Amino acid sequence: LPCLSLSLSRSGCWAGPVTGPRWVRGPPGGSVAVPCRYQTGYEEYPKYWCRAGEVFWSCPEGHLAKTSEARMGVKWGRVSIWDNRPQRVFTVTVENLTPADAGKYYCGIQRAVSDLTHAVTVTVSPGKSQSCSQLAPAGRRFRPSRPVSGPYIQSLGSRPGPERPLLDPGQFW
């Protein structure tokens, strides 16, 4: 399938404070990376990745990985995050995908009052991973008819492992 990209509005406004693909797909044993873009002003806030719960905007299993104000890159088990603050995009990478990793997740920015999140559905199925940016123009919602696949999400652990700083962020690109 060809990648479909939509341009942002002429004013440069985002569809929301955090944006990214709505669907990603990776093969069992493979990996994916999810680019989550954010607006100016959130560079210093902690970024995270979590599995969505039954309750609206909840993360009952806690964070699968989370950065801090001081640490822009972390790896917890099979999940890593690298926050490219000058570009205002943090990339979540999940390795060794399993069928149990399929489901809904949030890439989020932690704030004192309420977090800013973007929902991403992960599909694990055979085939080559692909990625495609799908940002909706400001004021419009875009929902692809099929999952977007990509090397932008790797397999997720059921529980976060010990936090380890990333020493070489270039290893993920």
Task: Summarize pLDDT for 123-172 with one digit per residue, the tens.
Answer: 999 876 655 444 433 333 333 333 434 333 333 333 334 444 443 444 33
Q: Which residues of the chain have pLDDT under 50?
A: 1-14, 132-173
For position 131, what pLDDT does the model report?
52
Q: Running DSSP on this structure, what letter comes out for residue 77?
A: T
The CATH class given to the 23-135+142-160 domain equals: mainly beta
- Taking only Cα atoms into account, the Rg of the chain, rounded to an integer number of angstroms, comes to 15
In terms of phi and psi (left: phi > 0; alpha: psi -120 to 50; beta: otherwise), the region of 42 is alpha
Q: Where are the domains of the chain?
A: 23-135+142-160
For position 15, what pLDDT does the model report?
61
For position 87, what pLDDT does the model report?
97
